[in-house]
Amino acid sequence: MIESIDHNSSQLNQDGQLKHFLTTQDLPINILNEILDTADSFLDMSSQQVKKVPLLRGKTIVNLFFEPSTRTSSTFELAAKRLSADVLNLNISTSSASKGESLKDTLMTLEAMHADMFIVRHPDSGAAHFIANQVTPNIAVINAGDGRHAHPTQAMLDMLTIRRCKGQFEGLVIAIVGDILHSRVARSKIHALRTLGVAEIRVIAPKTLLPKDIEMMGVKVYTDFNQGIKDCDVVSMLRLQKERMNSALLPSEAEFFNLYGLNSERLKLAKPDAIVMHPGPINRGVEIESAVADGPQSTILQQVTNGIAVRMAVMSMAISGQLTSRISGS
């Protein structure tokens, strides 16, 4: 287990440029806005016949996934290919790691292949920070989700979705609903939203799915869905992470939907122009009803599109930051 998170692995080089992307926590607002602005430019490219740019031509990106995620791994792979990078998808379950090779030995082997970037997904909190501290300085590390800790690119694609729909962050009231306890997405979103200056962040969940001292993150806590969603600009639903919970936390999926599922009637309590978000995969009839997921206020498919652009932005910025670090000797 890698649960002790070392935040000393700096995400920025000496010139203040992104060289790793491990967490949204404590990143300055100018970096978050640069990610969003860069992603915006890549979104414009998606409507063109040729969707590739040569920014990472000759670079090797390794998808290093220690737990499965079709959605995240495929969007990272597509983003890397649109940047003209070479991509290696490493299936850890069939790799030498499953034969007893240590994580450090696996990293050293990949370094010997002259990889330029590791996209890391791991079931243990702190894994991405650990890897960033272990690899040679010229390799960028992007956190694609580590335990309950962070999922920064998912948070940033949600930020891009909000900005494109609402135009700004100031004055917005945003509700995050569901399995807050196990959600690395919720944590990363809260950090980013606070930095970007939203008016109010609400978390809505049963007490059993709320982390201890969640109020310390600067959010308002609601256990009543109807009260929490009232007059919100954004309603962000979360997947119930059944693989991370025991049955004592939840009486039943039907009961959860009855109390905390988003349906058309509950959505009317939010502002008329409120948008509905979900990081996927969706459990229809558990967190959200199909009429809402497929309805006019849903941005779920936009989030997928925006995710490719955000991951292109983060990868191109990190490679550029690593190059600047090498030139300056930092």
d(CA 174, CA 202): 6
Q: Is the omega angle on the peptide bond into residue 206 within 30 degrees of 0, that is, cis?
A: no
Q: Tell me if 127 sits within 8 A of 150, measured CB to CB.
A: no
DSSP per-residue string spanning 272-287? TT-EEE--S---BTTT
> For residue 243, what pLDDT is reported?
55
> For residue 109, what pLDDT is reported?
86
Which DSSP letter does residue 234 get?
E
> For residue 56, what pLDDT is reported?
97
d(CA 21, CA 315): 9
Q: What is the value of pTM for the model shown? A: 0.92
d(CA 288, CA 281): 11
Backbone φ and ψ for 158, nearest 5 degrees, come out as -70, -40
Question: Token digits for 323?
Answer: 């190059």
For 121-137, give one letter per residue: b (16+ CB within 10 A) or e: bbebbbbbbbbbeebee
Question: Token digits for 176?
Answer: 């995050």
> For residue 255, what pLDDT is reported?
87
**What residues have CB less than 8 Å from 98, skipping those under 6 apart?**
92
> For residue 144, what pLDDT is reported?
96
Backbone φ and ψ for 99, nearest 5 degrees, come out as -100, 10
> For residue 328, what pLDDT is reported?
59
Cα separation of the two ends of the chain: 31
d(CA 44, CA 24): 25
Average pLDDT along the chain, 330 residues, taken 10 residues at a time: 51 93 96 97 80 94 88 93 94 57 79 92 90 91 94 98 98 96 95 98 95 94 98 96 56 85 97 96 92 97 95 96 68
- The count of residues in the chain is 330
Q: In 206-270, which ranges are E strands?
A: 220-222, 234-237
> For residue 68, what pLDDT is reported?
79
Q: In the chain, which ranges are E strands?
A: 60-65, 86-91, 117-122, 140-146, 173-177, 200-204, 220-222, 234-237, 275-277
Going by C-alpha positions, the residue among 231, 20, 247 that lies closest to residue 119 is 20
Domains in the chain with CATH codes: 29-151+306-328 (3.40.50.1370), 152-304 (3.40.50.1370)
